[in-house]
Structure formats: structure tokens, C-alpha cells
A and B are shown apart, each in its own frame.
Chain A
Amino acid sequence: MRVSIPSLCGLSDFRGFSQVAVSNHTGRLVLVMTKEELKGASEEEQQAQSKKGLKKAQKEAEKAAKKAEKQAKLAAEQQSTDEDDFAKDRYGVSPMVQSQEKLDRVLVRVQQLTPERADQLIWVRARVHTSRAKGKQCFLVLRQQQFNVQALVAVGDRASKQMVKFAANINKESIVDVEAMVRKVDQKIESCSQQDVELHIERIFVISQAEPRLPLQLEDAVRPEGEGDEEGRATVNQDTRLDNRVIDLRTTTSQAIFRLQSGVCQLFRDTLTDKGFVEIQTPKIISAASEGGANVFTVSYFKTSAYLAQSPQLYKQMCICADFDKVFCVGPVFRAEDSNTHRHLTEFVGLDIEMAFNYHYHEVIDSITDTMVQIFKGLRDKFQTEIQTVNKQYPSEPFKFLEPTLRLEYTEGVAMLRAAGVEMGDEEDLSTPNEKLLGRLVKEKYDTDFYVLDKYPLAVRPFYTMPDPTDKVDLEKIKAYIDSFRYGAPPHAGGGIGLERVTMLYLGLHNVRQTSMFPRDPKRLTP
């Protein structure tokens, strides 16, 4: 189709274009150049470029020749290896598991690999903890949570050279499915949890590959600090751990810590339920601050704003006024405190209790302390493996407590501090160093890591504390939730503790971030 287009703007030179046409598809104007025209176009330019072109062409030819050579070589190798690889279908990278088929295969847990299973052919799915080749053999350590076992691929009638090479090159932390014969070993394998057996691999498939460069090495993450300094080996610092939390949580120590923490929660619930408590859930988006307005997060709530609950305090008490008698709740607590210490988080899990009592608040104290003692006992009896695992990396003394729990009055505590040379007033709050010192003094005198300090001076307590009737101190104005008290409220008392702190103190750890899976503090919002 020929079109006369005097108005083609921007094109001053139509030389070299034989036609102007309109494309059928786009409706756009197309300038067409024939092949002959291209060839003939500016012969002078061509000549000048011919020398350069020649050189370029030469270089490219050389490159191509080399590449062809390499490829031929590889192909030849490949062929030779393929030829000799009789074990080709006993190893490899499996396609991604997308529930394509239901395999009737039983996977044995690494924990169950004991001498009783000797000479059995079993399948195991685990992570590759380490792999190293030694001549015609490759030693792997396969890890599953806290347990690991040594595995071996050796050139023989079941495995070929290529298979051993493949096993040695599997990236650390990849998940593999392994079919192997369980064999008893004469010499105990000290470095593994399963010390009496070894796996002789017949088939190995990679189910999920890990990247070759890991942000941190698990061996380094489990190394105790002192050992690291002594032997000059690397340890991983806390920030790196927290930035790559998913990998850090795979270490045996982390697994043990969080299993124990789960135990704390479980024991808390079970003990209280046995005592007749009801578990409640309190709202976390609230209209007024409960612990003082300074440390509260604000959220936008449609057209107004609301706060994130600093504690379930007010709602626990309202539940008592609603006749639930004994309640407890486990839930997040949000404190917007800009404290960058080893024991503060902006979000933590609170274990809270509230209970109506008959005539004396000591009934509640007895109940709470008994709950704590049951938790400590439960941890001591059922979680020894976890405690020992944690102690390997973070050595500490076992947790001590008295039964019944030691109870000191605030004045006694002040007297003990004064005897140690600390100057403080009778109505003065315990500063953190003094609190810590008092703990050491009590530990030294009574040999317990857990005690109750009773009768704090009212001046240092929040507004919802009931004053001692023998003390002539004015009642503070508790306007906020006084309505719930207007329609008959039973005498009640309660308390709350942080789950992370309990775990930290029980295990003798020194930073609360170690016991919080994905900790939140003024400087950390991810992961």
C-alpha cells in the first residue's frame, strides 16, 4: 500500500529507503529497506570497517573454537562418567515435592536410630549438617532437631564414584532423603547424639537444596563463647543470630530453649487449670493506659486512636467482678519503653493470674508461689535433656527453690541491703542494682533463686495497688475502672510474669532475646 506522507516529521533523509508502507498489524508507518540496499549502503564505510571487522571476526572465531573444544571435552567426560555410572538412579536432586504421589514409605526419626535397628534398611529425612569426602568415601552428618547421626557413602557395589562425589558436594543444610543400612559401630562416635550406630547409604536424594553460602555456620552458633576465644574459632554474635533467626533457631541449643519455654507455658496452664482457674483472653486494643501513660504504643483506630495493652490488669480484675473467681491469661504485652537492656523487650508474653480471696491476700500469694514451684518441679523432672543441652553452650548452676517459697518483707530486704553497705531510705524503691544485690544476698543466705518480697511501700507501686490498712497512707485515686467496682466486687489479688524472663532466669541465660523467638526491642522490628 502506498501512501503519500509529506508530513513524516523528524525524518529529513529518506535515502536508503525504498518504500514507505503502512503495517497491517499496527497501522504504523514503516520504512522499508531492501536487502540489496543494505548491502550496497555506503561501501566506503564498509571498507574502512573491514580491517577492524576482520580482527574482530578472528577473535570471535578463536573464542568459538575454544568453547567448542571445552564443550567437546566436557561431553566426552560426561559420556565417560555416564558410561561408568551404574548408580545413576540411586542419587540426585529430586523434583520439588508437590504432592505428586503418595509413597508408601516409612521415614525413621534420627532419634530412633539405635543398635536395636542394626542391619535394617531404613529411610531417613534429615538435614545435611556436614559432608566431607575422603578418597573413595564421603562422611556425612545428618541432623534432625537435636539429634544427629553419622552416615557414609563408599565406592563399592552400591555406590559409584560419581555418587560419592555428588554426596560430598551437597550444600550444608539441604534436606535429603536417605535410604541406608543401619550398622553398629565398635568405637563410639563422640560428636553425634546417636553414638552407637552409623548409616551406610544406598540411596540419597536431595529434597530441598540450600544455598551454598549460609549467613552463619551452625557449628559456630553452638560454640560456647569461652571456647571460641581460647581456640581462636568463630562464634556468632547476637545481632547476626537475630538477623538470620531461622537458621539460628535450628541449633540444638535454640531447639532446647524453646522446647523448655513451651514446657513453661504448658505447666502454667495445667497447674492453674488443676487449681480450678479459667483461662481468659483479654483485649489488646484498649482505650486507656493501665500502667501509666508513658510507655504505651498508640495505634490509629478508625477516626480516633487506641493503645496496645501494657498488661491485662484491668480486664483481669473486671473478670473477677464478673464472678469468674480465678482467672489466668497468656498473651502478648506491649511496653513502649526505650530500654535497651539485656532483659527488656517491647513485646513479650505475659503469664497473668488474678484470684478472689476470702480474708487475706496471702491466700493468693500462696497460690501463685505454689504454681511457680510446680512449674519449676515440672521443668526439673521432665526437661532435663533440654537443660543439659543448653548448659553445654551456656554453663550455669541448676535452679534452686525452696518449698514452701521463701517470703521476705520489704523492710527485711532493706535491712539486708543496709547490712551489706547499701544506703537507702525506707520508702525508697529498689533500684535495679540493689534488686540484683538483694537477690545475691538471699541466694547466699537462704540458698534459693526464687523468693517473694512482700509489703512494698505504696509510694512505689502503680495506682491499682490496695494499701495496707495498718498504714496510714491515702488511697490513690483509681478513677479509671471504678465502675466495675460499684456493683459488688470480691476482694482479689493477682500477679503477672514474663514468659521470656522466666525461661531466661531458670536456665541462667543472660539475655532475654535468647528466649524470645523473634524478639522486639526499640531497635529491632524484623524478622
Chain B
Amino acid sequence: MALRELSSLEKFLGLKKPNKYSTQGDRKVPVLQSNSGPGLVGLVTIATQLTQEAKRPDLLGKSAEERAVVQQWLEYRVARLECCVKEDIKTILKDLNTYLEDKVYLAGNHITIADPLMYYGLHPVIMDLAVMDKEKYLNVTRWFDHMQHYPGVRHHLPPVVVLRNRVYTSGHH
């Protein structure tokens, strides 16, 4: 699954030549195979490398602070989303909802590599979310819908339906 993600990422970045990937270990950690030396291991590492390759450093963050935030979200993706249980999902969504209350993108005022990667990571979660929960975590849904419509991001993933109007009034169980 990570491999498809990486190929989508390549397309997003506008890389013409697809790279060769393989996986390693039980957790299927992706490995970028290179001609010279050992391959790059890890989603975050590979994503960063690809961004450099595509000569789009702005996607990693324009300022030092932004770069730090981007890295933070990439870490978040790998550390928390990959190995989360059902109970954690609620906490994750709640935290994300609070974070995204006043932000359009995860880091800064423009799209960074953190956005599509978090989108790929959250896709299975949001797909299964009930309409009521989608309304509860309104900011996450808004950001998610923005991401899935952003040119070049979605690719291999089916679109998740997001209703335009609120169906549940607040306070209903």
C-alpha cells in the first residue's frame, strides 16, 4: 500500500521517471532502490528524497519553522497512524480537528508534502467514518475534502463523499 502511495506521490511531484521500490520487514517498510549503494528505507525518508529530486523544496517548508512542522507531521503519520488501534482513532481525529480549526493546510499557508501523506494515511479512516462523525470532526472533513480535490493528490484512492449541508444538528445523540 505504501508503494502505491509513493507512486502517487511521484505523480504529484511531477517526477517523470518512476523509481523502483521494494519492501522490507513485517511492516512492509518501503525501500527506495538506488543504483549506488544501499536503498533508502522509510516512508518519510523516501518522500523527502523524492521532493528533493523533483526540485520542489518549497514542499518541505519555506522557513525553518515550517520545515519543522512538516517533519513533525510526517513523523506523526508514521508513528501514530500506521500503528493505531480503534480507540486511538478518536483521539487522533479529535486532536487533528482542534489543530485544523484555523488552518487550511497542515503547515504554513501552502501545500506541503505533509498534506498528501497525511491524506493517504487518513483515507481508510475517513472512508469508514459515519456521516455523524464526519460532522463531528468538521475541520478534518473540510481539510480532507480539500485534499482529495487538490490537483494531483488523489490518484489511486476512491473519493470519499462529503455532504455539503449539516444533517445532524448539534446536541443530537
A residues neighboring B (CB under 8 Å): 397, 419-421, 433, 437, 440-441, 443-444, 510
Which residue of chain B lies nearest to A397 when distances are taken between CB atoms in the complex?
B169
Stretch from B17-25, B62-70, B98-106, B158-166 contacting the other chain: B158-166
Determine if A421 and B167 form an interchain contact, defined as CB atoms under 8 angstroms apart. Answer: no
Taken together as a complex, chains A and B put the C-alpha atoms of A433 and B161 apart, in Å, by 17
A420-B167, A421-B162 known, 16 other contacts, Cβ within 8 Å:
A397-B169, A419-B161, A420-B131, A420-B161, A420-B163, A421-B160, A421-B161, A437-B130, A437-B167, A440-B131, A440-B167, A440-B168, A441-B167, A443-B167, A444-B167, A510-B173
A contact residues around B161 at 8 Å (CB): 419-421
A contact residues around B163 at 8 Å (CB): 420-421
Min distance, Cβ A101 to any Cβ of chain B, angstroms: 55
Ranked 3 nearest A-B pairs via Cβ = A421-B161, A440-B167, A444-B167
Tell me whether chain B's interface is mostly helix, strand or loop, or mixed: loop
B contact residues around A443 at 8 Å (CB): 167
Quick one: which of B140-173 are within 8 Å of A by CB?
A: 160-163, 165-169, 173
Mask, B91-111, CB within 8 Å of A = 1, is 000000000000000000000
Which residue of chain A lies nearest to B166 when distances are taken between CB atoms in the complex?
A444
A contact residues around B167 at 8 Å (CB): 420, 437, 440-441, 443-444
Residue from B131, B163, B166, B168 with most neighbouring chain A CB atoms (10 Å): B131
Min distance, Cβ A524 to any Cβ of chain B, angstroms: 22
B contact residues around A444 at 8 Å (CB): 165-167
Which residue of chain A lies nearest to B169 when distances are taken between CB atoms in the complex?
A397
Which residue of chain A lies nearest to B163 when distances are taken between CB atoms in the complex?
A420
Interface bin, chain B: 10 to 19
Q: What are 17 pairs between A and B in contact, CB < 8 Å?
A: A397-B169, A419-B161, A420-B161, A420-B163, A420-B167, A421-B160, A421-B161, A421-B162, A437-B130, A437-B167, A440-B131, A440-B167, A441-B167, A443-B167, A444-B165, A444-B167, A510-B173
B residues neighboring A (CB under 8 Å): 130-131, 160-163, 165-169, 173
Taken together as a complex, chains A and B put the C-alpha atoms of A397 and B170 apart, in Å, by 12
Determine if A433 and B168 form an interchain contact, defined as CB atoms under 8 angstroms apart. Answer: no
Min distance, Cβ B170 to any Cβ of chain A, angstroms: 12
Min distance, Cβ A419 to any Cβ of chain B, angstroms: 7
Taken together as a complex, chains A and B put the C-alpha atoms of A397 and B171 apart, in Å, by 11
Taken together as a complex, chains A and B put the C-alpha atoms of A253 and B111 apart, in Å, by 55
Taken together as a complex, chains A and B put the C-alpha atoms of A362 and B162 apart, in Å, by 35
Determine if B169 and A433 form an interchain contact, defined as CB atoms under 8 angstroms apart. Answer: no
Taken together as a complex, chains A and B put the C-alpha atoms of A419 and B131 apart, in Å, by 11
Min distance, Cβ B166 to any Cβ of chain A, angstroms: 7
Which residue of chain B lies nearest to A436 when distances are taken between CB atoms in the complex?
B132
Which residue of chain B lies nearest to A440 when distances are taken between CB atoms in the complex?
B167
Taken together as a complex, chains A and B put the C-alpha atoms of A223 and B161 apart, in Å, by 41
Taken together as a complex, chains A and B put the C-alpha atoms of A334 and B161 apart, in Å, by 41
Min distance, Cβ A504 to any Cβ of chain B, angstroms: 13
A contact residues around B169 at 8 Å (CB): 397
A contact residues around B131 at 8 Å (CB): 420-421, 437, 440
Min distance, Cβ A471 to any Cβ of chain B, angstroms: 29
Min distance, Cβ B76 to any Cβ of chain A, angstroms: 26
Taken together as a complex, chains A and B put the C-alpha atoms of A510 and B169 apart, in Å, by 15
Taken together as a complex, chains A and B put the C-alpha atoms of A324 and B78 apart, in Å, by 72
A contact residues around B165 at 8 Å (CB): 444
B contact residues around A420 at 8 Å (CB): 131, 161, 163, 167
B contact residues around A433 at 8 Å (CB): 130
Which residue of chain B lies nearest to A418 when distances are taken between CB atoms in the complex?
B161
Taken together as a complex, chains A and B put the C-alpha atoms of A184 and B166 apart, in Å, by 50
Taken together as a complex, chains A and B put the C-alpha atoms of A435 and B130 apart, in Å, by 13
Taken together as a complex, chains A and B put the C-alpha atoms of A419 and B167 apart, in Å, by 13
A contact residues around B130 at 8 Å (CB): 433, 437
Which residue of chain B lies nearest to A417 when distances are taken between CB atoms in the complex?
B131
Which residue of chain A lies nearest to B165 when distances are taken between CB atoms in the complex?
A444
A contact residues around B173 at 8 Å (CB): 510
B contact residues around A510 at 8 Å (CB): 173
Taken together as a complex, chains A and B put the C-alpha atoms of A437 and B132 apart, in Å, by 9
Taken together as a complex, chains A and B put the C-alpha atoms of A421 and B166 apart, in Å, by 14
Taken together as a complex, chains A and B put the C-alpha atoms of A110 and B59 apart, in Å, by 76
Taken together as a complex, chains A and B put the C-alpha atoms of A390 and B173 apart, in Å, by 18
Taken together as a complex, chains A and B put the C-alpha atoms of A440 and B158 apart, in Å, by 25
Taken together as a complex, chains A and B put the C-alpha atoms of A208 and B131 apart, in Å, by 55
Which residue of chain A lies nearest to B168 when distances are taken between CB atoms in the complex?
A440
Min distance, Cβ A120 to any Cβ of chain B, angstroms: 46
Taken together as a complex, chains A and B put the C-alpha atoms of A440 and B130 apart, in Å, by 13
B contact residues around A441 at 8 Å (CB): 167
Min distance, Cβ A166 to any Cβ of chain B, angstroms: 47
Residue from A397, A420, A421, A433 with most neighbouring chain B CB atoms (10 Å): A421
B contact residues around A419 at 8 Å (CB): 161
B contact residues around A437 at 8 Å (CB): 130-131, 167
Min distance, Cβ A342 to any Cβ of chain B, angstroms: 10
Which residue of chain A lies nearest to B161 when distances are taken between CB atoms in the complex?
A421
B contact residues around A421 at 8 Å (CB): 131, 160-163
Which residue of chain B lies nearest to A441 when distances are taken between CB atoms in the complex?
B167
Taken together as a complex, chains A and B put the C-alpha atoms of A510 and B171 apart, in Å, by 13
Taken together as a complex, chains A and B put the C-alpha atoms of A302 and B125 apart, in Å, by 59
Min distance, Cβ A252 to any Cβ of chain B, angstroms: 23
